Structure 1
């Protein structure tokens, strides 16, 4: 059974998305990924998003998000294989400087920093970004706006496993 997760596209007034820079504690590979994580028992998607945003970035108030994408993935991180189903939410937030409030042990060992990225910067970078193709997906979302029904992006992006994390 895949782990149910929420991924957050925290987008500021300049249409930049906040990503976390992390280092796999086992392999040393570095990557950028969105804020988010597992949905706990009894939590709604929005409640999980609020908790994850606070834990990972210190954000106190998270406006309601718009469901935009779904994705299924299997990847390796910290010596484990993770099978996940992701629900992606788009949140417009005022620009802020992230300061984690409650990282898990694995996150505390792996988080290196944060950066606000434009779609163009994501498409140009040679850094590893999770999921691959996020720049083009984000550019499409900014251009077209949120879809009426979340779009399955599984086939539009390479999986992290394909990147041999």
Structure 2
């Protein structure tokens, strides 16, 4: 299991400068709402942000296997049609006293289920995630809260208007 931080950092990730391989899920319900988790810095609970479910690869699992496992652990949702990789990005950020470098792939996911269960979260996730919420594109666009990736509202609107891209879109590197 992995814990989710500012960008989905794991409590068992190495403390070296190696780049962590991460899979994320842009999970949409039948009404095209996106599921986001509300995270915060464990030592600073007022430092909050929203982010997509996902986390680091474990052992020899594939990116798709990691996406499915992380989604199940963090949300309890296992009945998902996992689609293509929408976006890829590199990010770096501090979380829980460490510096994280990640190579993230964002998969499209569709589900009929909107009920969530967070019982599979790790200890660090329980200390750094305050909840989950389904957002409409309009709500996300109107929000002034911090969301990762930072252009998620625009990316979601494009996805809903145009469908998945023919090839994954490379997003700009984000460093916090």
Q: What root-mean-square deviation, in Å, do the aligned CA atoms of Structure 1 and Structure 2 show? A: 1.3
Gaps of 5+ in 1: none
Q: Deviations over 1:3-29 (max 9, x none)?
A: 000010000111110000112102320
Tell me the TM-score normalized by structure 1: 0.90
Q: Deviations over 1:10-67 (max 9, x none)?
A: 0011111000011210232011110000011211122111100110001132223211
1:37 to 40, 45, 55: 55
1:64 to 82, 91, 100: 82
**Cα shift at 1:148:** 1.4
User: Are the equivalent residues in 2 in contact too, given 1:12–1:95 (CA < 8 A)?
Assistant: yes
Instruction: Determine whether 1:83 maps to 2:101.
Output: yes
2:133 to 115, 124, 129: 115
Q: Secondary structure at the match of 2:53?
A: strand
**Separation in 2 of the partners of 1:121 and 1:78?**
29
Higher helix share: 1
Gaps of 5+ in 2: 1-17
Tell me the TM-score normalized by structure 2: 0.85
**Separation in 2 of the partners of 1:83 and 1:26?**
20
User: Are the equivalent residues in 1 in contact too, given 2:91–2:102 (CA < 8 A)?
Assistant: yes
Q: Deviations over 1:97-128 (max 9, x none)?
A: 21113212210101111111112211110111
Q: Paired residues, what number?
A: 158
Q: Secondary structure at the match of 1:114?
A: strand
Residues 118/160 of structure 1: CA separation in 2 closer, same or farther (3 Å cut): farther
